[in-house]
Structure 1
Amino acid sequence: MGDLEIRPAAAEDIPEIVAMLADDPLGAQRESPEDLTPYLAAHTRLMADTNQHLVVAAREGRVVGTLQLSIIPGLSRKGSTRSIIEAVRIHADERGSGLGTQLIEWAIDESRRQSCQLVQLTSDATRTDAHRFYERLGFVGSHMGFKLQL
């Protein structure tokens, strides 16, 4: 399967990242791979913010996974810093290979390196397979999330 490299996402990686974001029923409804302009603008903003880590997993030069890790300093929990893992996607050819575990472990290790006391993530209520995956990695379903579309 070749060596795996987890590295910051480059602008050249955006087409592959967006394709993975769009490669499921939920993503197909909300992503627009035919117009990369907003994704490239978002990449520029993310790269300028030291608390944002958009990474890709690459195997033999091919992007096969991605996630975003956000570091958030806070006042609650005695001034704790937390991290949020978002937009975890694995290329269809790599699902079940352990790559998702490697990406989440990278995010947890980076969170520790950034002195975070808590790692959190959200997952759409319909993604039951993902929920089991996160639970196997030690995450606990502890809160109910709410969103307001603007």
Structure 2
Amino acid sequence: MIFRKAQKEDLSIIVRLLADDALGSGRERYEEPLPEEYYQAFDAIEAQTGNQILLAIEDKTVIGCLQLTIIPGLARKGMKRAQIEGVRIDKNFRGKGIGEALFKEAIAIAKAEKCGLVQLTTDKQRDDAHRFYKKLGFSASHEGMKLVF
């Protein structure tokens, strides 16, 4: 398995992964051609320093993805932090250590960027994800809130 930063030609498979679960199917629109909003969002990610979609690839096939954003801040003596979002592993490859390997790669990038912590949010309905994140050493230290428009 290798890891690499996503390119625009990977966008269709990334959206397919994002849409391929109970919550994602209601949030995403995986169709061909992809809605223009996905291309605009990808361009914005590419334009922002420290923001990327990281892919897990096996036999030239994308089998997992996550978005990793390095966030500079003033709090905690100017500490940078890494934010992980949009984590998905192809359903045919779950339970094989792909997610753990992908997270280890993202954490290594965060450390190389001199981040002091890695944070993520996870939907309260994702019990399996919560167990997975705890197994990796994450703790539920804060209560998250969102304002959706």
What are the equivalent positions in structure 2 for 1:85-96 lying under 5 Å apart?
Answer: 85-96=84-95
Instruction: After superposition, give the CA deviation of every residue in 1:124-147 in whole Å (9 maximum; x if it has no partner).
Output: 000011000000000001111100
Q: Quote the Cα distance in structure 2 between the aligned partners of 1:111 and 1:126.
A: 27
In structure 1, the partner of 2:135 is: 136
Number of aligned residue pairs: give it.
147
Match of 2:5 in 1: 8
Deviation sequence 1:72-97 (CA, Å, 0-9, x none): 01011111110100001000111001
Query: Within 2, Cα distance between the matches of 1:61 and 1:119?
Result: 28
What aligned pairs does 1:1-150 form with structure 2 within 5 A after superposition? 4-34=1-31, 35-150=34-149
Unmatched 5+ stretches in structure 2? none
**CA pair 108-129 structure 1, distance change in 2 beyond 3 A:** same
Coordinate RMSD, CA, aligned: 0.8
Contact 1:67 1:87 in 2 (8 A): yes
Deviation at 1:36? 3.3
- TM-score of the superposition, structure 1-length normalised? 0.95
CA–CA separation in structure 1 for the residues paired with 2:87 and 2:46: 18
Structure 1 position 7, deviation (Å): 0.5
**Matched residue type, 2:4:** R
Structure 1 gaps of 5+ residues are: none
Q: Which amino acid aligns with 1:127?
A: R
| TM-score, structure 2 as length reference | 0.96
Deviates more, 1:104-113 or 1:47-56: 47-56
Quote the sequence identity (%). Answer: 46
Q: How far apart in 1 are the matches of 2:102 and 2:3?
A: 8
Letter in 2 for 1:16: I
Determine if contact 2:2/2:57 at 8 Å carries over to the other structure: yes
- Determine if contact 2:84/2:119 at 8 Å carries over to the other structure: yes
Counterparts of 2:106 and 2:132, CA distance in 1: 15
